[in-house]
């Protein structure tokens, strides 16, 4: 059981062109495996579960088992790769209304994870503080560089709040910092305040870091099964780490999307019929967008939630500019979260008189209706000139999400190599950061600030 890649609705000429990329894709994988690719010093994510992830997951579980504070809410402060992976996993596997459900009894839920430091909205932070006030929070501040403005500002505010509410000593037990092992402002702050710290490995970039402490600590705090997540990822890496990967679906996906790009497609849409996968799509958008969008190249990555978006952007996909490639992310048995072995399914009920005309759907599962809508969409979009791919997993659990993470990370590394870029840097992100510093008067950026203001 693994991630499947189905190219039935991909044009024959693009499939043929992807086949010619099979050898370069395999060579790209070998270069990732031995670190000889562009940005090879950042390929620690490959085979991470076996190298360090499994041991780390066990250590984190042990640490959390010994925590001496009660908490019912996990606050993650971070941006980009420092929060998106956690959110992708957590939202895919937690009850969508977990935060609104009771804390005890039949509806007892795991501690919810909430997020800060991924925007600069004052109103957003005010509301978050309202929520903290109602709960017993534990805070995980995450920044590899330790100097990113958004999480640094949010952490200052949250730290101030925590110290006022709990006092310095208890706050120190309620704050965990995940950052570079030796440098950066967050490392210094954490050491001064005696926070528990976890390291972001030197050889893993932010958007590839979900299986390191960056994702594993908050996910374990929220009682998700991080060992299964890591071992699910290892199942994919195991098939890729030795010998000939053959026609592995991750390499196939990389080759197919590359063939579409070379044929003139500019945008890849990742579409799902499961709202709980929305943040997996956000994580995928960053993974591929930030890795490949450079040197004037790369597919722009965007996400669609079906069937919702069939009533908004569906028209464009069907009939607008033919610059799109569409990848459907499908779950065979999406089910509901939890349920302790109890089947949680919905059949379309009987309606006396059939006034809404839905009698033909009576007693059929809603999942069947959703699957038909997605298949119908795939056929329609393929007929409309959009090359369509389908990636699939049998169900959503820690194991399959771990598999998807390893699948997409590998596909991204290979695809970036086929594109001829270094997928592990992000020079383009610096431009806005410098302008922000200039406009806010950060020491050292005064001249840039003056230049920018003259343009206003
Ligand atoms: O993928 C990346 O490297 C980025 O998205 C970073 O994760 C993001 O900019 C946050 O950086 P940091 O963890 O240093 O605060």
Ligand 1 pocket test, candidate residues 44, 78, 82, 284, most atoms within 8 A of CB: 82
pLDDT-derived band of residue 340, with 50, 70 and 90 as boundaries? very low
Q: Whose CA is nearest to atom 9 of ligand 1?
A: 80
Give CA angle at 216 (210, 219), nearest 5°. Answer: 105
User: Does ligand 1 come within 6 angstroms of the Cβ of 210?
Assistant: no
The percentage of residues in the chain with a pLDDT greater than 90, rounded to a whole number, is 84
Give the model confidence (pLDDT) of 427-437 as tens digits.
888 888 888 88
- For residues 110-124, give the mean pLDDT: 94
Q: Which of 119, 203, 206 to mutate to test the pocket of ligand 1 (most atoms within 8 A of CB)?
A: 206
Ligand 1: does its nearest atom lie under 6 Å from the Cβ of 290?
A: yes
Query: Please, is 42 exposed, middle or buried when counting C-beta atoms within 10 Å of its C-beta (0-12, 13-18, 19+)?
Result: buried
The pLDDT assigned to 342 comes to 54
pLDDT at 336: 56
Closest atom of ligand 1 to CA, residue 208: 1
Provide the pLDDT confidence category of residue 343 given band limits of 50, 70 and 90. low
Tens digits of residue pLDDT in 171-193: 999 999 999 999 999 999 999 99
Query: What are 102-116's pLDDT values in tens digits?
Result: 665 555 568 899 999
Per-residue H/E/C for the chain: CCCEEECCCCCHHHHHHHHCCHHHHHHHHHHHHCCCCCCHHHECCCCHHHHHHHHHHHHHHHHHHCCCCCCCEEEEECCHHHCHHHHHHHHHHCCCCHHHCCCCHHHCCCCEEEEECCCCCHHHHHHHHHHHHHCCEEEEEEECCCCCHHHHHHHHHHHHHHHHHHHHHHHHHHEEEEEECCCCHHHHHHHHHCCEEEEECCCECHHHCCCCHHHHHHHHHCCCCHHHHHHHHHHHHHHHHCCCCCCCHHHHHHHHHHHHHHCCCCEEEEEECCHHHHHHHHHHHHHHHHHHCCCCCCCEEEEEECCHHHHCCHHHHHHCCCCEEEEEEEEEECCCCCCCCCCCCCECCCCCCCCCCCHHHCCCEHHHHHHHHHHHHHHHHHHCCCCEEEEEEEECCHHHHHHHHHHHHHHHHHHHHHHCCCCCCCHHHHHHHHHHHHHHCCCCCHHHHHHHHHCC
Catalytic residue chosen out of the listed positions 15, 51, 61, 433: 433
Q: State the pLDDT at residue 138.
A: 98
**pLDDT score for 104:** 55
Q: Compute CA 178 distance to the chain's CA centroid, rounded to the nearest angstrom.
A: 18
pLDDT tens-digit map of 270-309:
999 999 999 999 999 999 999 999 999 999 999 999 999 9
CA of 148 to the centre of ligand 1 (A): 8
290 given a catalytic annotation? yes
By most ligand atoms within 8 Å of CB, the mutation choice from 45, 84, 119, 145 for ligand 1 is 145
Ligand 1 pocket member 209 (CB < 6 A) = no
Tell how far the Cα of 423 is from the centroid of ligand 1, in angstroms: 14
- Asked whether 79 lines ligand 1 (CB < 6 A), one says yes
Query: What average pLDDT does the chain have?
Result: 93
Whose tokens are 């930030």? That residue is: 290
In which band, very low, low, confident or very high, does the pLDDT at 196 lie, cut at 50, 70 and 90? very high
Q: Choosing from 290, 292, 330, 409, which is the catalytic residue?
A: 290
Q: What residue's CA is closest to ligand 1, atom 15?
A: 143
pLDDT of residue 121: 95
For atom 3 of ligand 1, the residue with the nearest CA is: 206
Which of 62, 311, 321, 343 is labelled catalytic?
311
Distance 65 CA to ligand 1 centre (A): 29
Give this prediction's pTM.
0.95
144 lines ligand 1 (CB under 6 A): yes
User: What average pLDDT does the segment 312-318 reach?
Assistant: 96
pLDDT at residue 345, as a whole number: 87
d(CA 78, CA 71): 20
* Predicted confidence (pLDDT) per residue in 34-63, tens digit: 999 999 999 999 999 999 999 999 999 999
Burial of residue 207 (number of CB atoms within 10 Å: 0-12, 13-18, 19+): buried
Residue-wise pLDDT for 373-422, tens only, equals 999 999 999 999 999 999 999 999 999 999 999 999 999 999 999 999 99
What was the pLDDT predicted at 339?
45
117 lines ligand 1 (CB under 6 A): no
Q: How far is the CA of 83 from the centre of ligand 1 (A)?
A: 9
């Amino acid at each position: 059981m693994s991630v499947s890649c189905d190219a039935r609705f991909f044009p024959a000429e693009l499939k043929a062109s992807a086949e010619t990329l099979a050898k370069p894709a395999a060579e790209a994988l070998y270069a990732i495996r031995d670190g000889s690719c562009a940005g090879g010093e950042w390929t620690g994510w490959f085979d991470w579960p076996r190298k360090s992830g499994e041991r780390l997951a066990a250590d984190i579980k042990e640490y959390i088992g010994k925590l001496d504070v009660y908490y019912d809410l996990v606050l993650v402060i971070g941006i980009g790769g420092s929060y998106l992976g956690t959110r992708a996993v957590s939202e895919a596997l937690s009850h969508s209304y977990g935060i609104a459900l009771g804390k005890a009894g039949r509806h007892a839920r795991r501690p919810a994870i909430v997020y800060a430091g991924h925007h600069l909205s004052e109103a957003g932070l005010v509301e978050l503080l309202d929520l903290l006030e109602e709960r017993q929070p534990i805070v995980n501040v995450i920044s590899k560089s330790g100097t990113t403005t958004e999480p640094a500002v949010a952490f200052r505010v949250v730290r101030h709040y925590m110290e006022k509410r709990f006092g310095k000593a208890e706050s120190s037990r309620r704050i965990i910092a995940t950052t570079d092992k030796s440098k950066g402002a967050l490392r210094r702050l954490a050491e001064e305040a005696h926070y528990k710290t976890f390291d972001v490995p030197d050889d893993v970039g932010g958007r590839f870091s979900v299986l390191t402490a960056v994702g594993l600590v908050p996910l374990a705090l929220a009682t998700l099964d991080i060992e299964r997540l890591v071992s699910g990822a290892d199942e994919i890496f195991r098939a890729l780490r030795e010998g000939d990967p053959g026609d592995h679906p991750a390499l196939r996906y990389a080759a197919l999307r590359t063939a579409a790009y070379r044929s003139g497609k500019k945008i890849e849409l990742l579409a799902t019929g499961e709202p709980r996968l929305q943040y997996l799509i956000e994580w995928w958008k960053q993974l591929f967008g930030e890795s490949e969008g450079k040197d004037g190249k790369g597919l722009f990555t965007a996400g669609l939630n079906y069937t919702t978006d069939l009533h908004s952007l569906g028209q464009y996909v069907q009939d607008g500019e033919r610059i799109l490639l569409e990848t459907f992310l499908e779950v065979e048995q999406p089910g509901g979260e939890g349920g302790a072995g109890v089947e949680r399914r919905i059949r379309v009920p009987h309606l006396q008189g059939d006034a809404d005309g839905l009698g033909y759907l009576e007693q059929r599962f809603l999942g069947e209706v959703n699957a038909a809508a997605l298949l119908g969409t795939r056929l329609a979009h393929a007929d409309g000139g959009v090359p369509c791919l389908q990636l699939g997993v049998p169900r959503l659990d820690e194991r399959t999400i771990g598999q998807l993470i390893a699948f997409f990370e590998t596909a991204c590394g290979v695809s970036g190599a086929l594109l001829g870029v270094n997928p592990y840097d992000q020079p383009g992100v610096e431009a806005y950061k410098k302008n922000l510093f200039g406009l806010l008067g950060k020491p050292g950026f005064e001249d840039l600030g003056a230049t920018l203001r003259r343009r206003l």
